[in-house]
Amino acid sequence: MTSSTSSSPPSSSSSHSPSPSFPPKSHTPATTAAGFIKAIESGSKHLLIKRFTLRYPEQKLKFVGDGYQFDPKRAVGIAGLRGRHILYHDKCTGCQLCAITCEGIAEAIGMVRVDEQWKHNKKAIMPQIDYGKCVFCGLCVDACPFYALFMTNDYELASFTKEHLIYTPAQLAIKPKYSGDVEIKIDDHGASHHG
C-alpha cells in the first residue's frame, strides 16, 4: 500500500511544498561541549521547580461531575469518570438490557432476584456486577433505557477476596463518598497540584 503511493510524494501534500525537517547539524568537538552544557542546564533547572507528583493516598484528584451519566434529553453521555456503578432501584425495571450488552464485552453483569416489591419491576430482578470482570467501558449505562444505571467517581474497589468484588443490587444503590479536591495547576513555572 505504501509502496504504490510513496515512490513520489503524494499530490495532496505537494500543494504546500513539504520540506524535510533537518535536525541541527552534527556536533563537532566545539559544539559537543555546548551540547553537554545545554543538556545539563535544562536538567538542573528542575532542581528548583516543584514536582507535580500526586501524593495519591493523601491527595486525590478532583474529577469532572459525579461520574459518567446519560442525558435523557440529548441521548448522549455526560462526561465524567467511569468508576463504580450506581443503581437506582426506583427506576430499574429488570429489563436485562445492561446484562445483554455486557454479554459480548465482559460478562460482568448478572440479573439476580431482589426481595423488594416494585410495581414497575414485576420480575423483581436487578443487575449484580462483578468488578473482577468489569472493564468500565460504560456501555451498560448507554444501553439502560430507564436511566437507572449510572457510574460514579468511586474507583477504589480493591478487596482481599474475589467474592467482595461482586456487588449486589443493594450495594450498588449506595452513593459512594468520594472526596477528591486536588487539581492540576499549569502556569508559567510548570505544573503542580493544588488542594
Partner 1 sequence: MADLEDRISESQKMGMQIVKESDDDRLMTLSVGPQHPGSGHFRFIVKLDGDYIVHCDPDPGYVHRGEEKMTEYRNFIQNIPHLERPVIHDSTNITYSYSLAVEELTGIEVPRRGQFIRAIASELNRQVYTLYWLAIYGIFLGHSTMFMWPTGDRELFIDLLEALTGARVTHAFNIPGGVRNDVPDGFKDRCLRQITYYEKRLKEYEDIFYNNPLVRQRTEGVGILTKEDAIRLGVTGSVLRASGVPYDIRKAEPYDVYNEIDFKVQYMKTADSFARAYVPFLDMRESCHILRQLLDKMPEAGEVRAKLQANPRGPPGEAYRRVESGRGALGYYIISDGTPKPYRVKISVGSFRNMLALPHLLVGAKMGDMPVIYWALNYWPVEADR
Cα angle 26, 32, 35 (rounded to 5 degrees) comes to: 95
Contacts of 116 (CB under 8 A, 6+ apart): 89, 124
The DSSP secondary-structure symbol of 191 reads E
C-alpha cell at 82: 467511569
Nearest to 65 by CA among 150, 130, 131, 146: 150
Nearer to partner 1, 136 or 147 (CB): 136
- Identify which of residues 75 and 158 has a Cβ nearer to partner 1 in the complex: 75
The CB-of-149 to partner 1 minimum distance in angstroms stands at 14
Q: In the stretch 121-160, what mask flags binding to partner 1 with x, by CB under 8 A?
A: --------------xxxxx--x--------x---------
Residue 140: CB partners within 8 Å, gap ≥ 6? 85, 98, 101, 102, 109, 127, 149
Contact call for residue 112 and partner 1 (CB under 8 A): no
Contact flag: residue 57 with partner 1 (CB under 8 A): no
For binding to partner 1 (CB under 8 A), which residues are involved? 1-3, 5-7, 9-10, 12-13, 16, 18, 20-24, 26-27, 31-32, 35-36, 38-39, 41-43, 52-53, 61, 63-65, 67-68, 74-82, 101, 103-106, 135-139, 142, 151, 184, 186, 190-191
